[in-house]
Structure formats: structure tokens, C-alpha cells
Amino acid sequence: MVTFEEKRFNTGEIEINYAAGPNNGPPLVLIPGQGADCKNYNKVLPLLSKKYHVYAVDVRGHGKSDWATGNYSFASIGRDMTAFLESVVREPAIISGNSSGGLIALWLAANRPGLVKGIIMEDAPLFSADWPRIKEDSDVYRVLQATVEMSKELKESRSISGLARILMKIKRPLPNGKVRSVPRSAAYFAAFLIRVSQKLHSGTPWLPGKLGKVLYVLTNFDADFSQAWVDGRIYEGLDHADALKRAKCPMMLLHANWVRHPDYGLSGAMDDGDAARARELAPCLLYKRIDSEHVIHDYHSDLYVSAIEEFIANLY
């Protein structure tokens, strides 16, 4: 059985948490998306560690890494990752990031080329999560707002009705043009279960299933990380088009499913136009369309691992 050891590293600004596996090959650094921590990669860690020296990090404000409320941007996260690569990994690494983690990988490729062997952007929100488009054309912006509200409600209140009202705001655009929302009765029942769970677990809710995963995310990261996307602070240091043009290392883009709704805009990381623009700006970019939900490494671990292995095989 493969053992991953969790460690902490002081970047010079904060301490970040990471999990490291055995040294079985070239270094592969995994960066999870917003709200997730290194455990998000549990399905693929044993598979990837057979061929690579795998590191999975908790981005500042997530998991067991320090919070940096008021200081979340690609520039500050980039400094953390630069220090990590220089002092812990200590050789050019392959960086694979999901969602916002993919944008962090792109920042590294554009700004710290000597530390990067190649990058995999796993359904990264290229262009759709650039300012101000995210506010104008992305359902993700509404999700981020709800995340901030929900996190505050969980920590600052014990109201069932307040929590239920936030749950009812969450809507998911569907491919058929309809919108899935949480019915009032279900929202109040879920809110009741969450509040009971908080009483039983010293204020930290725990429930099984999908709702439990959502609660884990909301209680294990700093809501100001989402707020930084809402008010625009996060974007300091990263222009998507400019970074794609400047990055010279080998790159792969994995593109998962998306829909566009007339009222809610883009639901997903990228539409086909975004993916095409990325390939125009970075002609050597390897592109793979995968029929999957956003977190490909969780929904289709086998496809993710095979894509990683194919990409890395061409680097050595």
C-alpha cells in the first residue's frame, strides 16, 4: 500500500500543507481547485505514485494550510508555489491543476519557466474566469457569491431559515435549457439536518453523501478566497491570454462538459470558443475533450491518469 506523508512548509509568508508520496519518478505536483484540498486527489494518488514522485498541495486558505484573509491573488499564490518548487521539489516539475489550480499552473509556466517541465490544465476556466467576464457571463460567479453567504451563515448563525434561503438560491442550468433548484421543503430539511449536525459535532457540521462533501468544503477553506473572486482581488498577476502566449513549456488542456443558459450564462469552465482561443494563442497546446463533470480526476480517474501518463511520456 502506497503511503503519502502530510507535511508543512513555510513559504516565507505562510505555512502550506502538502502530501508527498514515494520517489518513483519525475516530480508531479497536483494543485486542487477552489474549495478542495489535497485529499481531493485520493482516487488517483496511488495510481500516479507508481511512476512519479507525487506532491499534492493545499493552496493558501484551504485544508490545513494557513489562511491569508485579505491576501488572495494569483501573485501571492504564485509566490507560495515558487517557494515550494524551489525548496521542496528542487527540480523542474510537471504541474497538474484542476479548475483554479490549472490557472495557478499557467501562472507558473508563464512566470517561473525554470521551475516547470510541463503543465496540465484540468478543465481550467480559461477566459471565463478572467475579470470582468466572470461577473458578466459565468454562472460560477453566482456560485461564488452563494459560497461566501453559506460559509458566513454556517459560522455566524444557527438559523435554520437563513440557511434554507441560501440553499434555495443555488441553481444549476441544465443542457435542455431548464434550471434545477433546491425545492423549499428539501432546503428546510437539509438546513435542519445541518444545524442538528452542528450541535452534535461542536459547531462543525458532518453529514454523509454529497451534502456532506459540500459542507466539508465550506468549513475547510477561507470564504475570503471566494470573496476575492467576487470583488476582483484574485486576478492580480494573471492575464489568461498573455500567460498563454508567454508560456513556452509543453502544455495540455483537458476540457470537461459545459452548457450555456440564456439567463445564467456559461455553466462550466470553458465553452468551445474559449478552448479554441487557447489553442490559437498557444499553438503547441495539446487539447483533449473529455465527457465528464468538472473534476475529471474524480469522475473519470482512469481517463485522467492515462492522459497524464501520455503527456509525461512525451516529456522524457
Render pLDDT for 140-158 as a digit per residue (tens, 0 to 9): 998 899 888 888 888 888 8
Average pLDDT rounded to a whole number, residues 113-125 = 98
Q: Say which range, 50-59, 194-203, 306-315, has the weakest mean pLDDT.
A: 194-203
More confident residue, 261 or 300: 300
Contacts of 276 by beta carbon, 8 Å cutoff, 6+ apart: none
Which of the 8 DSSP states describes residue 87? I
pLDDT of residue 1: 65
Average pLDDT rounded to a whole number, residues 4-21 = 96
Report CA 257 to chain centroid distance, whole Å: 16
Claim to verify: residue 51 and residue 145 sit in the same structural domain: no
pLDDT of residue 41: 97
More confident residue, 245 or 136: 245
Domain boundary among 170, 195, 230: 230
pLDDT of residue 218: 77
Claim to verify: residue 213 and residue 273 sit in the same structural domain: no
Q: What is the pTM of this model?
A: 0.93
pLDDT in tens, 218-238: 777 899 999 999 999 999 899
Residue-wise over 118-139: b if at least 16 C-beta within 10 A, else e? bbbbbbbbbbbbbbebbbebbb
More confident residue, 195 or 307: 307
Average pLDDT rounded to a whole number, residues 261-273 = 92
**Would the pLDDT of 2 be above 80?**
no
Claim to verify: residue 10 and residue 87 sit in the same structural domain: yes
More confident residue, 313 or 213: 313
Claim to verify: residue 76 and residue 149 sit in the same structural domain: no
Mean pLDDT of the chain: 92
pLDDT in tens, 162-215: 888 888 888 888 777 788 888 889 888 888 888 888 888 887 777 787 777 777
Count of CB atoms situated within 10 Å of the CB of 80: 23
Domain boundary among 168, 195, 230: 230
Domain boundary among 175, 207, 230: 230
Domain ranges, residue 86 = 5-134+232-313
What is the C-alpha to C-alpha distance for residues 127 and 246, in angstroms, rounded to an integer? 16
Claim to verify: residue 51 and residue 175 sit in the same structural domain: no
Q: Judge whether 160 and 141 are in contact, CB under 8 Å.
A: no
Claim to verify: residue 188 and residue 221 sit in the same structural domain: yes
Claim to verify: residue 123 and residue 260 sit in the same structural domain: yes
Claim to verify: residue 129 and residue 143 sit in the same structural domain: no
